[in-house]
Every structure is written in structure tokens, then in C-alpha cells.
A and B are shown apart, each in its own frame.
Chain A
Amino acid sequence: MMNLYYIAAFVIVLLCGIAFAYGSKIENKNPTYMAPIYLGAAISIMLTNNLLIIFMLFEIMMLSGTFMIFGGRSNLSRLAGITYFKFHILSGVLFLVGAILYYKEYKNFEFISVDLVSRLHLFHYFLLASLFINLAMPPFSSWLIEGYSATTSSGSIFLSVGVTKVAIFLLIKIFLGYRYLIYVGVFMSVYGILYALFESNIRRIINYYIISQLGVMVIATGIGLSNIEMNFIVISEIIYIALLMMIVALANSNLGKVFKVTCLIIFCAVASSLPFTPGYINKFLLYQNHFVIETIWLKYMISAISLGSAISVGIRIPALILVQKNNKKPNVVLSQKISAAVLICFTLALGIDSESILGQKIYLFGAEALKQIAIFISALLVFAILSKPLLKARSYYLPKLGFDYSILLRKIHFKRAVNLSYMQIATQLSVPRFKQNSEVIISVAIYTLMLMLLL
């Protein structure tokens, strides 16, 4: 039953995205041709239980996603496409090895959920590593940040709902209730919020926000919410992340005053999870859980993540959009307006009438609502005090986390064959990044620390 909701969500985003791209007169429309393949493969993954078929569908998503990013038609987008391709090849190989190891254990590719409490099998580790790359866990997150901001705006709408959400779906299927995921999720969401805070490009901020939201979903998987609650979180995430992407894309065109204010208010409310939005329901489900109530640090952590995303995205992006100088923007097209309005309707519907899907009581006016509003007000206060540095923040304050596995090979290559044009672009992009050896060291240090903590 839950799969049908997933399919409905994908179809809604697909239709709205196509309507959105239809109106755009400037951008290349190649991503729109690839989108049905991409989201079709995502839908097919919802319908199958066979690990080998899931692998093949992942590869189809990888290829169509690469061509979607190539559709950005700039050298930057092509390089981002290559990065995307390479990372997903890596995750695909890991997934295939995991699937074959599963076959050895059970003589069948049909997945049956295995009891995680007893012990993890070998295939679990491979599947987990593959899913972590698909979830853009920070050292492997450069494909998401660069890929989603290099493609066209409609392409980024399709991409944002695809592979990461499918990966979360599989994570829920395989690893629901695996407690160590909580630490990973906390790391991901804190990383996303921090980097979103120090980023100036709006499209890249929203990409970091996606990573932090994925972190929240990984936390929820680790806590072990019930299956239906987990899936509700992912479905609402599919709808409202697409909405946020669309609003960010609309910021490039001249909206009417009323529409602009409506969009920005909705954006602010959704991203800082105020009541009557699906973000609030997600936070409510987390606060209500027994494990969270018992574990105090986690409770405060979730509040802190909520506060952080309210400051870094929920308030900062509307402020950045308002600060932008309005000169020579193209007028908004009706189809773009309609598709945004449809997505707003669905988002609000999910926020208000979630009980019909969840089948449990949601308190829209309870203590949790007050808490979220208090968090939002404090975020507003913090932003009001620190508005000047926050609006002028630049990304070079923090070291960039994230590496390309082929970086060593490329370094050797530069000395031999510099004449290839591909390599010339690669030089511009990855040499300054390579100079920061700190990034690799930091990520390794964080992981060793986490491992030591776990052991």
C-alpha cells in the first residue's frame, strides 16, 4: 500500500516538473526527455523485491541521471556529470557484490528482511556502503552538490527526488532499526547545515539542505520508527524537496509580488518545519518516539538540527532572494506558476491531513507545535542579530569535504597528457581542491573517531 503512495509522489513530481520545464524558454529541454526514464526506474524499484533487478534499475537511473546533468550544456556540467557517473559506478559495483553475496547465502535474489539484532552478514556491509554513496554521505557527497547545481533547474527538480529517496527506501527496507545509523545521520545533517550556512550560491545551499534532510531520515531509520511512519517521512520529503527546488528555480524569474511573498512564506515554513507543513509531522513523529524520549542528547540534537536548518535555509534563502537586485529577469510563465501552486497544495495537504495516511493521532496544536514555533522565533532572533555576516558568508571559510577516487590517477596524468581538453578543465577544478589535503585528513579523522566511539 505504501508503495502506491511513493508512486503517486513520483508521478506528481514528474508531471509538475515537466509542466515547469515546458514554460522555460531559455533552458535546454534534454533533461525533460530523460526524466521519465529516471523516475520510471525509481518507480520500478518500488515494485520489485529482487536485488539484481534493483541493481539494474540503479544503473539505468545512473545513466539517465548522467545525461540529465550533461543537459546543463556547460563544461562544468559535463565534469559534474562525469563525477556523478564515477561515484554511481562505484556504488553499483558495491551493490552488485552485495547482491551476489546475498545470493550465495540464500540461493535467491528475492530480498527477505533479515534480523539485524543477531549479527550483520557480509552482504549487509556492501549494501550499506553502496547505499551510503547513493545517500551522498559527506566524503562522497560531491556528486550531489556539483551535479544538482550544474544541470538545468528542471533537471535538478527531477534529480532531487530520484536516487537519494530510492536509497532511503532501500535503507528502510534493509536496515530499519540499526542503531549505529543514528551517528551517521547526525554527522550528515550537521555537515549539511554547517556548509549551507557558509555557502553563497542559493542552488548549492539547497543541495546542502538535501544532505541534512537525508541525515534526518537516516536518524529516523536508525531509531526505528514504524514502517508506515518512515515511509510517510520519505514521501512527504519527495514532495516538499521538489517544491523547495522549484521555488529556488523560480527565483531567477520575475514573479508577481503576491505570488513571490506566498512562495517565500511557504518556503520558510516548510524548511523550518512549522506546524501545518509535512516537516512538522516528521519532527512530531521523531519527538513522539520512545527511544528519543529516553535518549536526551538525541532529543536536543533533533531540536538543534531543526534550529540550524531554520537559520541556514528556512530564513536565509528567502532573505538572499529578497536581497537580490531585480534587474532584467524574464517574466514567469503560467505553467511554471501552476506547477508550483499544485506542489504547494500537495505539501499543505500532507501537512494538514496526515492522519489519513498515518492512521494515528497528530497533535497540530500540542507541545511539539509550541516547541517548533519557539525554535523558529529563536532562529529569527539569531538571524536578526547576525544578519550581516550570514548574508555575506562565503564558502571558503570551511574546508571542502569530499574527494574523487580517481584524484590520484589524475595527478599522475597531468604530467603526461595535459593536451586533452577534459584534463584542462579538470585541472581548473580539482587542483585547488587537491591542495587542501586537510579535507581528506579531516574526514578520515572523523571516521576513525566514530569507529573508536563505537568500539
Chain B
Amino acid sequence: MSGFLFLLLVTPLICTFLSCVLHKSKHAMSIIIFVVSSFSFLASILLIKGFLDIGEHLVAMNFLGFISMQLEPISLIFICMVTFLWSCTNLYSISYLKVNHEIIPTKFYFFLSISIFVTICIALAPNLVVTFIFYELLTIFTYPLVAHIGGDKECKSARIYLYMLMGASMLLFLPALGFLLAHIGHSDFVIGGIAKNLPVGSVTILFLFFLYGVAKSAIVPMHFWLPEAMVASFPVSAVLHAVAVVKSGIFIMLKISVYIFGLDYLRSNIFSFLDTNIVSVLCGLSLLISSVFAIYQTRIKLLLAYSTISQLSICLLAMSMFHPLAITAAILHMVSHAFGKITLFFASGYVYSSSKISDIKDFAGLGNKMKLIMAMFTMASLSIIGLPIFAGFISKAYIYYSAISQDINYFVLAVLSISILITADYFIKVIYIIYEEPKVISKKAEVNYSYKLHSSMTCAIILTFLGLTSYMFLYDHIVDLMSLVAY
């Protein structure tokens, strides 16, 4: 068991080491890193198996004898998702880096691997202070990836990225953490929560401080860093700004509500009116505002970014119901959205690297030229909308189910339904343009059209797409694992 943990933590570190050592043969480096990184996924699967054998809710572990770590179902699911999609991204990068010469492979792999290492550490942290430290480290290590190309625009965006995330965590997350430590004395993750005797009325304010302080979860006033971060290259956007970074924000919020406050305590103490608590209202507003923003976007990356913000708000909305089924629904949606969004990013990265297209209006006619990739793009967007047999349907149906399971939560039902309609609106626009016959091909696109088959990219897209379609067999296991969580 501790061997698997060692393997899990060491593989990203080996990858960082390899990226420094093998800088002379770039192609070999990317292949070797892909092979090594896939061991981390293996390790996380074996870790889940070991966890099930022990049969406890919270398992304390030691790494190298003195660093304490903690395993529980939510973090195991999170680690499994991140490591799988990270190895997919490494597969994707093999030919992406071959085609796009502006990216420096050593720098790229070094910071990507170390970010993944930090993300895994966030998942394994035993208390909120350690979580906070790794949270800050994740911001710092992803900064070079955003400012990778080093132009003026990139540096400016990266600065905004750093200021937003650091500022929010310093001004809101840290004071809230200090308040918690001052009143309780420790911040360990304990079954049922530790915050029991807080001053009356402070629970709502403290929770809102956490909600906005963890700006990585991109709730609307704190979301500006995510569209700015889209200046990074496609694999980085795919694995970090659709999966690892933003999902670690959601993950920390879930941990705080389950293991710091405790669901029952939150349910009875958060300020609410008409059976709807203030957190639901804020998340719902964030969801609607970001969905409407997404309609305006003309660049594919920005559209995907705003879509990510709205889908993250759906996770938070599900969490804000504060009962066990809703937490499971939030986890399910977190995973399903990760698969869908990474497929979309990979497919649009494929289009970018073959023809340097990034405007949606230049996508016209691609449906007939890259049939396989565009079919997967279409199906992934149908999954994000939430149509049956795809992953998005299962998670959204589960959120609906959890919204009515005890008392019917009309607010969540209404907001979720409206958001599905708006999502359908902006994705059908893209699908329409893809299958349109181009009237006038813009000059830029005409010059650069070259539809070579980039095999490793195609393989990676197929892999994530399989995750998308096989989710109906997968989600049962996630629900089983989540049923082990004690609330």
C-alpha cells in the first residue's frame, strides 16, 4: 500500500528529472515521459484497491516515514482522474510538440510534471494548512506554463493570473484559515467536521470566505484568471485549466464542506431563505452569468473557458445542497466534465496544430475534412450539454435526482434546466459552423491547411473519448466508492 503511494508520488518527480536530463533528444524524452507517467495511473488504481481492502473511511499514511498523508474516497477519485488525464496529455504532447515549435519541451515537461506532483499532494494533504501551502505552490508552478511563449500579451495575462489567484487566497482564504485555527486550534480533516462551536452567524461568512478565497474553482467574480490563462498552449489548457487546477479548487471546497464543517452543521447553520441557502443562490448566479458570457465568445479557447466556468459552477451548485447524494453528484459531474472538456481541448488543439485556426468562424467546413476528430468534438460537446448515453447526461441526471431526493429543491432544478438550455445554445452554434460548407475561406486558413494524421494526438483523443462513452459503466464504481464516505 505504501509502495503504491511511493510510486504515485515519485513518477511525476521522475518525469521532472527526465525532462532535465534528456534535453538533447526531445522526441525520445516525450515518449519516455509518457511511458513513465502512465505508471502513476497504475499506482492510483492499485491504491484504490488497497484502500478498499483496508475498509476504513480515512486512512492515515506515511511517506518516507515522516510526511503524513491521508487517503479518503474523494481524493482517490480525484487522483485517479488527474493521473489518467495527465498520461493522456503526455501521449497527446508527443506529436503536438513535434508540430508546434514555439514550445520548449524541457520547460514544458518540467513544470507540467511538477504541477501534477503538487496537485497529487493537495489531494493527499492531511489538514487544511498543508492544503493551503500546496495550493499556493500550484499557482507558482503553473505561472511559467502560462507565460511560456514570453510575448507581451502572454506575460500580461500570466501576471493577471498570478495576482488574481494569489490575491484571492491571501485576502480571503488565509484569513479564514487563521480564524479557523484561532477558534479550534487545528485544521485536520476529520469525519463529521471539526468546526462545531463557532460564534453564531460566523459560519456563513467563513464559508463564503472559503468559497471566494479558493479562486481556482472560478466562481464568477473570481473567474477572470481562467480566460487569461488560455494564452497557454493547448495541452496545458487541457490538463491544467480544464482538469487539474480548476478541479483542485472544487476538490478543496468539497473537502472543506465535508471534513471541516460537516454537512449537517452546514445545512443547519448556513443562512437561507425559502429553503434555498445563500451558497446555492451565489453558485446559481455564477452559473447563469458565465453561461451567458460563453455565448459572446468568438474564439474557441475562450468559449471553452467560459463553458468550463459554468460547468464548475454546476459542481458547486450540486455541492451547495449539502447532503451526501449531492456530494456524490458533484464528484460525478467533476469527472464527467473533465473527460468531456479535455476531449474538446484536444480536438481543437489538433485543429490548431494542423491549420493554426483559433477563431470559431474559421471552423467552417472542417466537418468534411477531419471527419473523425470533428465527430468526437461533436459528441464531446453533446456530452457537455448533457444528452443521453454520454457522461454529461449521467452526472446531470444524478444532480437532478439529488435535488429532489429529500425536499424538492426548486431553485437547483430551475437553474440547472436553464443552464442546459443556454449550453445547448452555444454549442449547437459551434456544431452548426463545423458542418457548414465554407463560403469564403479566410486567407490565413487557406494557406495553412494541411491535414496530416498526427497519430499520437488522435490516439489521445480516442482514449479520452472512450472515457466519455464508457462512463455509464464507470459511474457505478464512483458511486460505490463514494458510499464509503462517512458524513
Contact = CB atoms under 8 A, between A and B. Distances in A.
Interface in B408-436: 408, 413, 417, 420-422, 424-425, 428-429, 432-433, 435-436
B4 interface: no
A94 B385 CA distance: 15
Interface in A60-113: 60, 63, 70, 75, 78, 81-82, 85-86, 89-90, 93-94, 96-97, 100-101, 103-104
Contact of B388 (A55, A78, A97): A55
B417 A70 contact: no
A89 B385 contact: yes
Contacts of B435: 70, 78
Interface string B14-54: 00000000000000000000000000000000000000000
Contacts of B401: 100, 103
A421 B421 contact: no
B433 to A, nearest CB: 6
A169 B328 CA distance: 36
Contact of B436 (A86, A97, A104, A421): A421
Given A100-B397, A100-B400, A421 B433 contact: yes
A88 B408 CA distance: 25
A419 to B, nearest CB: 6
B439 interface: yes
A118 interface: no
Given A59-B387, A82-B432, A422-B432, A417 B296 contact: yes
A82 B428 contact: yes
A126 B307 CA distance: 27
Given A97-B413, A100-B404, A409 B425 contact: yes
A97 B405 contact: no
B439 A421 contact: yes
B347 interface: no
Interface in A368-413: 405-406, 409, 412-413
A416 interface: yes
Contact of B408 (A81, A104, A419): A104
A421 B295 contact: no
Interface string B257-296: 0000000000000000000000000000000000010011
Contacts of A63: 382, 387
A416 B296 contact: yes
B364 interface: yes
Contact of B421 (A97, A103, A405, A420): A405
A4 interface: no
B415 to A, nearest CB: 12
A15 interface: no
Interface residues of B, number: 33
Contacts of A94: 417
Interface string B421-460: 1101100110011011001000000000000000000000
Nearest to A73: B437
Main secondary structure on A side of the interface with B: helix
A413 to B, nearest CB: 6
Contacts of A450: none
B483 interface: no
Contacts of A101: 404, 408
Given A97-B413, A406-B425, A420-B429, A413 B296 contact: yes
B428 A97 contact: no
Most A-side CB within 10 Å, residue of B297, B364, B417, B422: B417
A79 to B, nearest CB: 8
A406 B429 CA distance: 12
A228 interface: no
A274 to B, nearest CB: 44
Contacts of B417: 93-94, 97
Contact of A97 (B298, B364, B400): B400
Contact of B295 (A82, A100, A104, A413): A413
Nearest to A103: B401
Given A82-B432, A104-B408, A422-B433, 5 more contacts: A59-B388, A96-B397, A100-B400, A420-B429, A421-B361
A422 B429 contact: yes
B364 to A, nearest CB: 7
A146 B467 CA distance: 37
A90 B389 CA distance: 18
Interface of B: 292, 295-298, 360-361, 364, 382, 385, 387-389, 397, 400-401, 404-405, 408, 413, 417, 420-422, 424-425, 428-429, 432-433, 435-436, 439
B388 A56 contact: yes
B468 to A, nearest CB: 16
Interface string A117-154: 00000100000000000000000000000000000000
A169 B429 CA distance: 32
A75 B364 CA distance: 13
A85 B387 contact: no
Nearest to A70: B435
A85 B428 contact: yes
A420 B360 contact: yes
Nearest to A66: B428
Contacts of B360: 420
Given A86-B424, A97-B400, A409-B422, A420 B388 contact: no
A237 to B, nearest CB: 28
A409 B413 contact: no
Nearest to B416: A93
Contacts of A59: 387-388
Interface string A36-73: 00000000000000000001100110010000001000
Contact of A104 (B385, B405, B432, B439): B405
Given A63-B387, A93-B420, A420 B361 contact: yes
B362 to A, nearest CB: 10
A127 B387 CA distance: 18
A322 B382 CA distance: 46
A419 B400 contact: no
Contact of A420 (B382, B397, B424, B433): B433
Nearest to A57: B388
Interface string A427-442: 0000000000000000
30 contacts: A56-B388, A56-B389, A59-B388, A75-B436, A78-B436, A82-B428, A89-B420, A93-B421, A100-B400, A101-B404, A101-B408, A104-B404, A104-B408, A406-B425, A409-B292, A409-B295, A409-B425, A417-B296, A417-B297, A417-B298, A419-B298, A420-B298, A420-B360, A421-B361, A421-B433, A421-B436, A421-B439, A422-B432, A422-B433, A422-B436
B445 to A, nearest CB: 14
A96 B436 contact: no
Contacts of B297: 417
A422 to B, nearest CB: 6
A419 B361 contact: yes
**4 tightest A-B contacts by CB?**
A56-B388, A89-B424, A93-B417, A59-B388
Contacts of A100: 397, 400-401, 404
A147 B29 CA distance: 54
B428 A86 contact: yes
A421 B425 contact: no
A78 B432 contact: yes
A78 B389 CA distance: 25
Nearest to B419: A93
Contacts of B400: 96-97, 100
Nearest to A100: B400
Contacts of A89: 385, 420-421, 424
A85 B435 CA distance: 15
Nearest to A413: B295
Nearest to B413: A97
Most A-side CB within 10 Å, residue of B385, B421, B428, B432: B432
